[in-house]
Amino acid sequence: MSQPDNQIMQIAYVVDDLDRALEHWTKSMGIGPFFVMEGLEIVDPRYRGQPTDIDITIALGYSGSMCVELIRQNDDGPSVYRELLDRTGCGGFHHWGIGTEQFDEEVARYQSRGYDEVFTGKVAVGDRYAYMDTQEDLGGMIELIKLTPVVRELFGNLEAAATDWDGSDPVRRPE
């Protein structure tokens, strides 16, 4: 992973049709390959302070050192993604991701500036995350991502796959 710590490393979009979005991003934007994680397992997810159960699929691809995340919510449960879908009818830009080793300190820093922690949990393939509601000031949320060696390796492998990508096998799903 080549992005420096505590800087934007990811831009994320909520989509209502993942296949259509993947086709757009790979063909029109030349970004890929995308790695799709169906039914992403989230440990102890909390939405606006309450336990929640959410079913999402994500796709991650790279453009240079920037990770592009596409998120499809597979159910109608309340979530930060459903908020955007309900507001726009089709999704769109959702958040910037910032990787940090000082996770708890960064969450506290955003809270001290008046930003609520609106979606938290731990991703089974990584570690903790926290969405901070910066929409009013920034037009989107900030996702703080706890950087660990496992998380760095995951994003590093995804970034490496995009280096010199020749356009073949644009969407990859684990078997």
User: Hey, where are the domains in the chain?
Assistant: 8-162
Q: Which residues in 44-64 are b (16+ Cβ under 10 Å) and which e?
A: ebebeeeebebebbbbbbbee
The sheet that has 8-15: what strands, in order across it?
A: 50-51, 42-47, 117-123, 128-132, 141-146, 91-100, 8-15, 66-73, 56-63, 34-37, 171-172
Backbone angles phi, psi at 134, to 5 degrees: -105, 15
User: Which run of H or E residues covers position 149?
Assistant: helix 149-162
Enumerate residues 6+ apart whose C-beta is below 8 A from 153: none
Residue 54's SS3 state is coil
pLDDT of residue 125: 79
Give the angle 81-69-148 at the CA atoms, nearest 5°. Answer: 105
Q: Considering the chain, what percentage of its residues have pLDDT values greater than 70?
A: 99
As a whole number of angstroms, the distance between CA 154 and CA 150 comes to 6
pLDDT value at residue 42: 93
* Average pLDDT over every residue of 25-51: 95
pLDDT at 108 over 80: yes
8-162 CATH choice from 1.25.40.10, 3.90.1170.50, 3.10.180.10, 3.40.190.10: 3.10.180.10
- pLDDT of res. 61: 97
Over residues 61-77, the mean pLDDT reads 95
Mean pLDDT of the chain: 94
- Answer whether residue 9 shows pLDDT above 90: yes
Mean pLDDT of 28-47: 94
Confidence of residue 1 (pLDDT cuts 50, 70, 90): low
